[in-house]
């Protein structure tokens, strides 16, 4: 029964997605409800698969296909991932109802969500490389199509550029993946994932590993295959950013990386070191870029890259706790990053802008969005007792276990990375929610319930997975790694120790001390008064005469822009040069494309649009094919 | 059993070595600071109970909330930093008293909890709707980035040196059997010197009082705070004045559960007071340059020395 559930988990979302295309634009409400219900059904099926025993499904021998072509199986690893894939699909479909309201091409948008969920489930559950690659490709296509739908403020040219960049970088990554799998097939003589486990010896195995890892890196967005995420961030709808680059692509990319690094190959020291170096560079370079961004979506997209660095670093440690931490961080990152994108989308919906300089003081008007943002931002910065801290802490334990005398530099980089992460979220918090509201921004309301719900749920999970970290560790991560984690209430002990539950309780007790002091002093009352700005009074009109003398007293005129917070750092000697290079795309693998342009010229010169030309090409191709076939036989 | 264990933890947190103890010593330390600073400037200085009187007086003042600010964040955030310092102080002292027990968390947890008082200052200043507060918040964040790098390098010099012991109790046990960390070679001496610079930077004392900068920003993030909330910030800072040096001492100078600690602590306190009174405030870019280049370079050299075994 459970093995049939595997088929349902893959083909129910895909099937309902295809059906969803048929729903006409007039039945808008029905389409939205249909998508949410289908995603919910997929969530239920995935949960059944997760709760059930490991299952296996194989097709029998067919005429054209080899036996066990469709070969699905569920294990401890992929079964919890499909739960989260469907969960994010459900939240995104709910969020989109209001967020995407009034956008074009909604008739395609909702089906794509369901198809993506199904394809992601398919890629995760596949045991055979061929269907795996098929599903993997579908996700690239839907990502491309999502990007072409475009965000509200993006110009067609920008959307075109971003979409083609997605296609090229991710397509290149997928090409590397296919080549890597081909080499792996040569080496192991099997396309069956569960059968492959070979030592990493020789050039062929190493290049196969690097090629497959490149595919995983491009999906997850690790450097140097990262640059599609920032360009997509300003071109695509924010809901799709929360869906693909922030959550699903991370889960898939890291799933592949973990499989290749743990199951297919037995890594050696130099490959581990390579992974750690890539992780370290990704953490620090991406977060430095994030700090200086003015567009909240772009800023978040750089964090989406930076956090992958932690995961790659954790896997690179090669220690059990480091890898467990990396997998936990993969999950946590998907949770808080999509929550952050959701809050950014909510703010964007209400203010019509994603420019940090044009917002401010929204915390009062959008309280739930603000609280969800704060929780997710502190979680991503690794502030205890939230979930990001636990997984980072586990990765650090892994680094120390890998040999502190050699790997201290990665520890310092990773810890400094979280201070820098905090810094860039301080900037966002000040610019959007705290600080001063700009005059141009009128009255702003909180978003609708269907948008609040996903943010609130994800923020809540950030707290639960932090304070009661034993729950995800016991049920999701522990079984994958074969570690038994302690029960709730006990400390997680490794080289060091951290007791999230008692730590939180004691923090709350200490807060209660503060509350008592507050109650002791509150008797004196409370009143509001205008902010004190050098003794000048702030009022409507009264200060206009003073303003003419060059003195600014209206709060919105003395607004300190969050976007200027780190100009000091940006303009520092060597950093200034690095930043100007980063901004012009010198570190972007995509810009290497210009060296390939001559090939493009040759290829485009062949495409002259003359029919006879194409017919002759087809003929020549057929002749070559026949020659090869004849030669083989 | 579990319940009495929890009750014991709460005793630690509230009475000793947590809130009451840390607050008392912390306030007394600020008194020492004020008295010595006064004497250095040929003033008489306040009587011994002045810091306590200040807190009590602030408790008796009304709270003024800036108009149109984010009220909840503005009022709530001081308590977060306050709670974190209480927990930190308890963790550090308990590691010293019972090095074998595992109370709450290890060195990494302590380093991350040390973020919270600074975050409180930043969010408080940012929520106050005052441009001076916002400027102060941005400076505090930059300062945090500046001192975090040399501090991390200095702290992990010790971990590299002791071969990966990461719990504070474990570090103290290691020192009990191998001698104080500071006596174990050049790398640790360098790390200790860097850590000494970390203390005034973390506390926002001169020459690193860049965020509060009374004469420029009129206390920066604290400008709009009054009454209880200001008292909480003052208490947080005075407790940090006690907790941070004790943390550095536990890392470098053996167990602090001895009378000698008083002398060590007073020496560090005197060092902070001296630097504060003899050096003008740095600009934020100067502080960044100082902490990122010479000091981080120095501590980088230290940790490399430790990695090769010196």
What is d(CA B221, CA B250) in angstroms, rounded to the nearest whole number?
A: 31
A414–chain B nearest CA distance, Å: 11
* Contact at CB, A506 and B66, closer than 8 angstroms: no
CB-nearest partner of A499 from B105, B107, B289: B105
What's the confidence (pLDDT) of residue A308? 93
What is d(CA A601, CA A607) in angstroms, rounded to the nearest whole number?
A: 10
* Contact at CB, B303 and A408, closer than 8 angstroms: yes
* Contact at CB, B163 and A558, closer than 8 angstroms: no
Residue to substitute from B21, B27, B66, B68, interface A, most A β-carbons within 10 A: B68
CB-nearest partner of B288 from A521, A525, A569: A569
Listed in sequence order, the residues at least 6 apart from A608 whose beta carbon sits closer than 8 Å to its beta carbon are: none
Q: Are A549 and B91 in contact (CB under 8 A)?
A: no
* Contact at CB, B128 and A559, closer than 8 angstroms: no
Q: In chain B, which residues have their Cβ closer than 8 Å to the Cβ of A406? A: 307
A472–chain B nearest CA distance, Å: 19
Between helix A387-401 and helix A404-428 the angle, nearest 10°, is 160
CB-nearest partner of A498 from B106, B149, B165: B106
What is d(CA A583, CA A288) in angstroms, rounded to the nearest whole number?
A: 11
Residue to substitute from A292, A356, A404, A537, interface B, most B β-carbons within 10 A: A404
Q: Nearest-CA residue of chain A relative to B126?
A: A435
What's the confidence (pLDDT) of residue A36? 92
What's the confidence (pLDDT) of residue A389? 93
* Contact at CB, B62 and A497, closer than 8 angstroms: no
What is d(CA A354, CA A365) in angstroms, rounded to the nearest whole number?
A: 17
Q: Nearest-CA residue of chain A relative to B148?
A: A416
Q: In chain B, which residues have their Cβ closer than 8 Å to the Cβ of A533? A: 130-132
What's the confidence (pLDDT) of residue B233? 92
Q: Nearest-CA residue of chain B relative to A489?
A: B2
* Contact at CB, A568 and B119, closer than 8 angstroms: no
Q: Nearest-CA residue of chain B relative to A398?
A: B164
Q: If you count them, how many residues does chain B have?
A: 310
Q: Are A451 and A98 in contact (CB under 8 A)?
A: yes
Q: Which helix (H) or strand (E) holds A36?
A: helix A28-51
What separation in angstroms does the CA of A630 have from each of A623, A626, A633, B265?
10, 6, 5, 89
Q: In chain A, which residues have their Cβ closer than 8 Å to the Cβ of B134? A: 430, 435-436, 560
Structure tokens given for A596: 């390939």
What's the confidence (pLDDT) of residue A496? 82
What is d(CA A513, CA B113) in angstroms, rounded to the nearest whole number?
A: 18
What's the confidence (pLDDT) of residue A550? 45
List the helix and strand counts (H, then E) for chain A: 25, 7
Chunked mean pLDDT (size 10), chain A, 633 residues? 80 90 85 91 90 78 63 86 92 89 83 92 89 90 89 85 87 91 86 82 87 91 86 88 89 91 85 90 90 89 92 91 92 93 90 84 88 93 91 92 85 92 90 82 84 92 91 87 81 83 89 87 76 63 46 58 78 79 75 77 80 87 89 70
| CA A214 to chain centroid | 17
B81–chain A nearest CA distance, Å: 9
* Contact at CB, B131 and A515, closer than 8 angstroms: no
What is d(CA B250, CA A553) in angstroms, rounded to the nearest whole number?
A: 49
What's the confidence (pLDDT) of residue B59? 86
A554–chain B nearest CA distance, Å: 11
* Contact at CB, A514 and B123, closer than 8 angstroms: no
Closest of B222, B219, B129 to residue A558, by C-alpha:
B129
Instruction: Determine how many CB atoms are found less than 10 A away from the CB of residue A34.
Output: 19
CB-nearest partner of B156 from A411, A529, A560: A411
Structure tokens given for A25: 């634009």
CB-nearest partner of A514 from B83, B102, B156: B83
B225–chain A nearest CA distance, Å: 10
What's the confidence (pLDDT) of residue A64? 62
CB-nearest partner of B105 from A401, A405, A497: A497
CB-nearest partner of B60 from A396, A499, A524: A524
* Contact at CB, A514 and B148, closer than 8 angstroms: no
Instruction: Tell me which of B271 and A532 has the higher pLDDT.
Output: B271
Q: Which residue(s) pair with A73 in the sheet? A: A56
What's the confidence (pLDDT) of residue A537? 56
Q: Is the pLDDT of residue B60 over 70?
A: yes
User: Going along A210-325, which residue ranges are E strands?
Assistant: 265-266
* Contact at CB, A529 and B66, closer than 8 angstroms: yes
CB pairs under 8 A between A and B: 261
Listed in sequence order, the residues at least 6 apart from A74 whose beta carbon sits closer than 8 Å to its beta carbon are: A2, A6, A49, A50, A52, A54, A55, A56, A82, A125
Residues A85-94: b if buried by 16+ CB within 10 A, e if exposed: bbbbbbbbbb
What's the confidence (pLDDT) of residue A523? 67
* Contact at CB, B153 and A506, closer than 8 angstroms: no
Q: In chain A, which residues have their Cβ closer than 8 Å to the Cβ of B159? A: 400, 404, 408
What is d(CA A412, CA A399) in angstroms, rounded to the nearest whole number?
A: 10
* Contact at CB, A566 and B86, closer than 8 angstroms: no
What is d(CA A380, CA A393) in angstroms, rounded to the nearest whole number?
A: 12
For B69-84, the pLDDT digits (tens) are: 888 888 899 999 999 9
B262–chain A nearest CA distance, Å: 26
User: Going along A496-546, which residue ranges are E strands?
Assistant: 497-498, 526-529
A419–chain B nearest CA distance, Å: 6
Q: Nearest-CA residue of chain A relative to B74?
A: A434
A348–chain B nearest CA distance, Å: 20
What's the confidence (pLDDT) of residue A612? 85
Instruction: Tell me which of B218 and A174 has the higher pLDDT.
Output: A174
* Contact at CB, A498 and B109, closer than 8 angstroms: yes
Phi-psi region of B144 (alpha: psi -120 to 50; beta: other; left: phi over 0): alpha
What's the half-sphere exposure (Cβ side, CA atoms, 13 Å) at A27?
11
Name the pairing type of β-strands A71-73 and A198-199. unpaired
Listed in sequence order, the residues at least 6 apart from A372 whose beta carbon sits closer than 8 Å to its beta carbon are: A339, A342, A343, A455, A456, A458, A459
CB-nearest partner of B142 from A411, A528, A569: A569
What is d(CA A128, CA B197) in angstroms, rounded to the nearest whole number?
A: 58
* Contact at CB, A509 and B14, closer than 8 angstroms: yes
For B102-150, the pLDDT digits (tens) are: 788 889 999 999 999 999 999 998 888 888 888 888 889 989 989 999 9
Measured over the CA atoms of residue A21, residue A27, residue A28 and residue A33, the dihedral's sign is: negative
């Amino acid at each position: 029964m459970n093995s049939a559930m595997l088929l349902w988990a893959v083909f129910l979302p895909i099937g309902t997605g295809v059906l969803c295309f048929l729903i006409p634009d007039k039945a808008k409400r029905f389409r939205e409800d249909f998508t949410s219900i289908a995603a919910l059904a997929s969530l239920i099926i995935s949960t059944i698969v997760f709760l059930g025993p490991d299952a296996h499904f194989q097709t029998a021998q067919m005429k054209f296909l080899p036996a066990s072509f469709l070969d699905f199986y569920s294990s401890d690893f992929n079964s919890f991932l499909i739960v989260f894939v469907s969960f994010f699909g459900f939240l995104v479909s709910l969020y989109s109802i209001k967020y995407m309201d009034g956008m074009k091409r909604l008739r395609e948008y909702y089906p794509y969500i369901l198809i993506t969920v199904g394809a992601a489930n398919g890629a995760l559950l596949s045991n055979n490389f061929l269907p795996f690659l098929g599903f993997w490709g579908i996700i690239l296509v839907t990502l491309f199509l999502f990007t072409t739908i475009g965000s509200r403020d993006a110009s067609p040219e920008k959307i075109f550029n971003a979409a083609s960049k997605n296609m090229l970088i991710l397509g290149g990554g997928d090409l590397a993946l296919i080549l890597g799998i081909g080499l792996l097939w040569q080496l192991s003589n099997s396309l069956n994932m569960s059968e492959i486990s070979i030592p990493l010896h020789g050039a062929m195995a190493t290049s196969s590993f690097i090629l497959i890892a490149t595919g995983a890196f491009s999906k997850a967005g690790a450097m140097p295959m990262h640059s599609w995420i920032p360009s997509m961030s300003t071109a695509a709808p924010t809901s799709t950013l929360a869906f693909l680059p922030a959550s699903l692509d991370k889960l898939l990319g890291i799933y592949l990386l973990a499989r290749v690094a743990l199951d297919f190959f037995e890594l050696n020291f130099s490959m581990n070191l390579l992974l750690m170096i890539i992780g370290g560079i990704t953490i620090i370079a991406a977060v430095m870029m994030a700090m200086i961004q003015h567009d909240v979506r772009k800023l978040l997209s750089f964090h989406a890259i930076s956090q992958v660095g932690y995961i790659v670093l954790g896997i690179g440690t090669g220690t059990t706790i480091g890898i467990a931490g990396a997998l936990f961080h993969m999950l946590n990152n998907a949770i808080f990053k999509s929550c952050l994108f959701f809050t950014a989308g909510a703010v964007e919906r209400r203010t019509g802008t994603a420019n940090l300089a044009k917002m401010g003081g929204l915390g009062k008007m959008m309280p739930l969005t603000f609280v969800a943002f704060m929780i997710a931002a502190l979680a991503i910065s690794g502030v205890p007792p939230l979930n990001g801290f636990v997984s980072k802490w586990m990765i650090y334990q892994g680094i120390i276990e890998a040999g502190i005398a050699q790997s201290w530099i990665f520890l310092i980089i990773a810890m400094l990375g979280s201070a820098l992460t905090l810094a860039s979220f301080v900037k966002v918090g000040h610019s959007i929610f705290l600080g001063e509201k700009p005059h141009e921004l009128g009255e702003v309301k909180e978003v609708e319930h269907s948008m609040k719900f996903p943010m609130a749920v994800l923020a809540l999970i950030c707290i639960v997975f932090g304070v009661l970290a034993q729950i995800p560790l016991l049920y999701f991560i522990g079984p994958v790694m074969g570690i038994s984690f302690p029960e709730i209430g006990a400390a997680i002990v490794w080289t060091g120790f951290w007791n999230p539950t008692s730590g939180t309780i004691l923090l709350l007790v200490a807060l209660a001390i503060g509350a008592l002091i507050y109650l002791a002093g509150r008797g004196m009352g409370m009143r509001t008064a205008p902010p004190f700005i050098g003794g000048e009074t702030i009022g409507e009109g009264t200060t206009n005469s003073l303003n003419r003398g060059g003195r600014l007293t209206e709060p919105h005129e003395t607004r300190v822009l969050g976007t200027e917070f780190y100009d000091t750092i940006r303009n520092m000697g060597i950093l200034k040069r690095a930043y100007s290079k980063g901004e012009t795309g010198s570190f972007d693998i995509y810009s290497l494309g210009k060296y390939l342009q001559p090939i493009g010229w040759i290829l485009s010169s062949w495409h002259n649009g003359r029919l006879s030309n194409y017919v002759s090409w087809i003929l020549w191709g057929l002749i070559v094919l026949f020659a090869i076939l004849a030669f083989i036989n | 059993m579990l319940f009495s264990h929890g009750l014991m933890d709460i005793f630690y947190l509230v009475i000793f070595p947590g809130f009451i103890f840390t607050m008392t010593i912390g306030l007394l330390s600020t008194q020492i600071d004020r008295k010595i600073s006064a004497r250095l400037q040929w003033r008489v200085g306040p009587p011994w109970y002045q810091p306590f009187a200040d807190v009590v007086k602030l408790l008796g003042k009304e709270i003024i909330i800036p108009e149109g600010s984010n009220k909840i964040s503005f009022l709530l955030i001081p308590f977060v930093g306050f709670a974190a310092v209480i927990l930190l102080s308890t963790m550090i002292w308990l590691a010293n008293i019972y090095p074998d027990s595992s109370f709450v968390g290890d060195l990494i947890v302590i380093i991350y909890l040390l973020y919270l008082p600074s975050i409180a200052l930043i969010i408080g200043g940012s929520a106050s709707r005052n441009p001076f507060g916002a400027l102060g918040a941005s400076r505090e964040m930059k300062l945090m980035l500046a001192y975090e790098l040399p501090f991390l390098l200095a702290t992990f010099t010790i971990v590299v040196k002791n071969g990966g012991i990461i719990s504070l109790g474990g570090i103290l046990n290691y020192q009990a059997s191998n001698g104080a960390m500071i006596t174990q070679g050049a790398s640790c001496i360098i790390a200790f010197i860097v850590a000494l610079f970390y203390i005034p930077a973390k506390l926002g004392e001169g020459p690193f009082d860049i965020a509060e900068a009374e004469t420029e920003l009129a206390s920066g993030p604290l400008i709009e705070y009054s009454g209880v909330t200001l008292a909480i910030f003052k208490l947080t800072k005075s407790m940090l004045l006690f907790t941070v040096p004790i943390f550095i001492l536990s890392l470098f100078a053996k167990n602090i559960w001895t009378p000698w600690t008083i002398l060590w602590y007073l020496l560090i306190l005197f060092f902070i007071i001296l630097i504060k009174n003899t050096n003008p405030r740095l600009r934020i870019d100067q502080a960044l340059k100082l902490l990122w280049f010479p000091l981080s370079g120095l501590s980088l050299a230290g940790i490399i020395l430790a990695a090769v075994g010196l």
